[in-house]
Amino acid sequence: MSRGLSLVLAAAVAALALPTAASAHATLSAATPGVQGRVETPPRSIMLRFDQVVTATPTSIVVRTATGRVVSGPARSGRDRRLVIAQLRPGLPRGAYTVRWHELSADGHVSAGVFTFGVGVAAPPPTEAYGANGPSISDDLVRWGLFVSLAFLLGALGLRLLALRGVALPSRVRRRLELMSALGVILTLELGIAGFILRAEDALQLPFSRLLYSDLSPIAESTRFGQAFVVMTLGFAVVAALLFLAWLTDRDWLLWPAFVTALAMAGGLSLSGHSAVEPNSSWLSQLADWVHLCAAALWAGGLVAVVVCVWPVAADLRRRTFLGFSRLATVLIGLLLVAGLYLSLLRLPELADLWEASYGRVLLVKLALVSIALTWGAAHHFLVRPRLERGETGGGRLRRSLLGESLVGMAVLLAAAVLVNSAPPPEPAPARTGAASTGR
């Protein structure tokens, strides 16, 4: 493995370690009512316990209803200086409540956090606390970057292990595939962290400088999104380690567990998205979403790998690469279409939602891009492939055509990122029975 690639991987590991450096300040160790807890009797106060002495101000605890009305009084320190207490209005009505807190630690850092609890109802996740605005353009761009980086990782590994299985690759091709997969896993890790921070920043409603010293554990531990983030971060760190060992020891068999682990970790996005949390979600919808994502990433990333890693440096390998990837792409596109059709029917209760709901309009854009990509791919399959099978060689014109198809694939991933961050239209209300409508 090259010295440059080793340095890149070392830098990525160092960057992943940086967020842990801000953990010396006071952290929340217990809360009453509990974090995302449910109580049947309205509480009289909120009590927060920290792991060290803190300084409270009157605004250290603010409790709001689901509509934003403040129901807490001024906060104060308890006899134990690790406690901060705020009285609540008596007889809180049934509903969900958001608790936002901040305190001054002994080390001079201001920590903050947010959590929810419910009186007589289940508490919503912290990402749905009062004041959270939901995904923004920044979230869309980060999610797109995450999809693209995942495509680079899976595409480079998939091309090498599936389309070019058993082929002795020239050193320049191997190096380019290694760099592409390294870039993919590093960006997947970093953009996963960026996506988590953006979601936490929205939930806490704090500037980034204060977010560094905030308590993010309720988001990481009490939401599907946070749990998926933790597992995926650890999983892709394992992928990076396997890639590092494969390149360091020249044991290509280690690429297989790296590839399988990366595919499995991509499932975290499906387990924390619409396919897992919508009312009509099921294990089948989560499986379909995972298949859809992996097929799209392998197809789009594989195209980039063909254009960038093989075509410019191995003219004698172009024909075999194109034919091998063409066979793989046929399977991937079939999986993508079947899974995508099922998810579209599941997410759009009414046909009119396709043009009336914002989710449906984004889906229309995605479908248009997929249609362009499929037409382009069909031209390659039915017009170019027979010529290559007869022994003709593909030149710069074919490379430009493949590059154009891969760019359309990246645009499909952008539409998918926006779609993931959009709310599907709600299920229609059940129709009233005739007796109910006549008052009988």
Model confidence at 17: pLDDT above 50: no
> pLDDT band at 392, cuts 50/70/90?
low
d(CA 401, CA 414): 20
Own/partner pairs, 137-143, CB within 8 angstroms, 24+ separation: 138/198, 139/195, 139/198, 139/199, 139/421, 140/417, 140/418, 140/421, 141/417, 142/191, 142/194, 142/195, 142/198, 143/195, 143/417, 143/420, 143/421
Range among 6-20, 291-305, 345-359, 407-421 rated most confident: 291-305
Q: Choose the weakest-confidence range: 322-331, 369-378, 423-432.
A: 423-432
At 47, list the tokens. 């009590």
316-330, 341-355, 383-397, 401-415: range with lowest mean pLDDT:
383-397
Greatest mean pLDDT among 267-271, 274-278, 295-299, 383-387: 295-299
Integer Cα distance of 392 and 404 in angstroms: 21
Residue that wins the pLDDT comparison between 137 and 251: 251
Question: Is residue 136 over pLDDT 80?
Answer: no
- pLDDT score for 105: 77
**Res. 145 pLDDT band, cuts 50 70 90:** very high
Asked if pLDDT for residue 61 goes beyond 90, the answer is yes
Measured CA to CA, the distance from residue 123 to residue 276 in angstroms comes to 18
| Structure token pair of residue 183 | 């870039």
At residue 243, does pLDDT exceed 60?
yes
- The per-residue pLDDT for 3 is 44
| Confidence check: pLDDT of 88 > 90 | yes
**Domains detected in the chain:** 26-124 (2.60.40.1220), 137-420 (1.20.1630)
- Highest-scoring range by mean pLDDT, 17-21, 23-27, 72-76, 227-231: 72-76
User: Residue 207 — pLDDT band, cuts 50, 70, 90?
Assistant: low
Dump pLDDT digits (tens) for 260-275: 999 999 988 887 776 5
pLDDT of residue 31: 92
Percent of the chain scoring above 70 in pLDDT: 85
User: What is the pTM (predicted TM-score) of this model?
Assistant: 0.78
Answer whether residue 417 shows pLDDT above 70.
yes
With contact defined as beta carbons under 8 Å apart, do 306 and 162 qualify?
no
100, pLDDT greater than 80: yes
User: Which class for 80: exposed (0-12), middle (13-18), buried (19 or more C-beta within 10 A)?
Assistant: exposed
pLDDT in the model for residue 428:
61
The residue with greater pLDDT, 286 or 202, is: 286
